Amino acid sequence: MKKELVELKVNGRIHELAVEPSALLLDVLRRDLGLTGSKRACDDSSCGACTVLVDGVAMLSCTLLGASCAGSNITTIEGVSDHGSLAAIQKAYGDWGGAQCGYCTPGFVMTVKSLLAENPDPTEEDVRRALSSNLCRCTGYNQMYEAIRAAVAAEQKGIGAADR
């Protein structure tokens, strides 16, 4: 299939790429840009492991065409840290043991980032609703929710990466 030239802005950097019109954003990120933090863990858009932010909104990169994202700001897990310092949600995951195999973690982190950007003071129900499309088969969820609560508290106190 003939490739088309697209400009993708990923984690603040603009990339000019030749992509197949049918290439999924997840594959463009992983294969063409080497950003392998976003994961593929299902074949039917049901796990959330591939979640990235597109213009600040959590989206499944396995359901989007890469070419259709030209002109949008895409953020992947590789773009979440602040100049190499962990973001509050990443640090909280480490502190609370929110990840076991870690395969689902990038998707959860991106969904939480999107939620907190939209709603800095989410209720427990808000968090659970926002994360209802992200699946984890290892943790039993309790440590993850503890980590998310800690990250919400840290964000509310204004404890960013630069403060630690």
Applying CB under 6 A, the residues found at the interface with ligand FES are 40-42, 45-50, 60, 62, 99-104, 136-139
Structure tokens at 87: 């973001």
φ, ψ dihedrals at 7, nearest 5°: -110, 120
- Give min distance, CB of 5 to ligand FES, in A: 26
- Complex with ligand FES: residue 135 or 161, whichever CB lies closer: 135
- To which residue do tokens 């858009």 refer? 45
Structure tokens at 45: 């858009």
- Complex with ligand FES: residue 67 or 144, whichever CB lies closer: 144
- Give min distance, CB of 100 to ligand FES, in A: 4
- Complex with ligand FES: residue 86 or 138, whichever CB lies closer: 138
- Give min distance, CB of 49 to ligand FES, in A: 5
- Give min distance, CB of 157 to ligand FES, in A: 27
- Complex with ligand FES: residue 73 or 100, whichever CB lies closer: 100
Structure tokens at 150: 């800690």
Single-letter amino acid, residue 164: R
Residues 72-100 as b or e (16 or more Cβ within 10 Å = b): bebbbbbbbeeeeeebbbbbbbeebebbe
